[in-house]
Structure 1
Amino acid sequence: MQMPGDLRLRPATFADLPETMAMHSRCSPASLRSRYHADGPHIPPRWVARLLLPRRGAALLAVRPDPGGDQVVGMGQLIFMPTPGTAEIALLVEDAWQHRGVGSALLRGLVSAAGERGLTLLSAWCLPERAGLHRAARRAGLAVLDGAESGVLHIPVPGRF
């Protein structure tokens, strides 16, 4: 499944904080719980700022270009882990844009960034009742390995094994 043609992926910057906060406000509690694994009505701006510019990683945004500024509809993070060659990934796609290829496009972008950095394996924590990340990975054409630990999705970086 392709991402809608009016959207594009790009690296996140600190200037994206207001629009990324606005995207969070448009997400349902279920979507936020799936991403952050916690209940809560509000995600603090300092958390979102750390996600946009992770100290040990990279962040991508799915945006709809607009003359007044890009509208953020999805975000993904690649966070380097202490084990060499590995990183954790996480996605959040605004509810109105789910099931339209945005998550798959973000995953492909994160896998590409991981390959450029020499990483071999990506992992994501998934709540047992949420299958969105598994579905997005399959739609992106990525191999999916379920780990021994319940709720952990492993994605080998193509060409790195």
Structure 2
Amino acid sequence: MIAPSRFLAWLVLPLLALCSANLLADTVEGAPKALHLLDYIGADYPSTVEAGKVIDDAEYSEQLEFLGVLQGLIADLPAKPEKAELETGVSSLRSAIDGREDGAAVARQARQLGAKLAVAYEVSQAPIITPDPTRGAPLYAQHCSVCHGDTGAGDGPAGVGLTPP
């Protein structure tokens, strides 16, 4: 005869496996990239435009380019009730940037849109596990330092001549 605790484990184990499969489900393709673009726009736009005037042409052009990519990513997301609101939000964000609106207002708009995207398409904004700096250091050296330099100052060999560094 099977012990009651062992019998209970055989009943609960399949249930736990089923629940953990949901936790490991992939995020919708394109949604994380769209969220990163919104974060980037929100962080970099305020220093690009001041009092309705573009102060950094290259950065402003990049903002417009990223908006085009963002619109495509949102358009390619699977249908959900929130998708139309996201598309409208991106169009509104484009209008604000085309109109060279105040940086703080555009950053707030991008953050709010990012929050809606994260909720609608279940995009995690934090890593599932705590990052390990000892694992990150060689990855940075291999993939990032060539442009960003050893200390992140933008003085890597491939970063020479880039404005800003």
Q: Assess same fold via TM > 0.5.
A: no
Range of TM-score over shorter length:
under 0.3
Structure (1/2) with the larger strand percentage: 1
TM-score, with length taken from structure 2:
0.27
> Who wins on radius of gyration, i.e. which is larger?
2
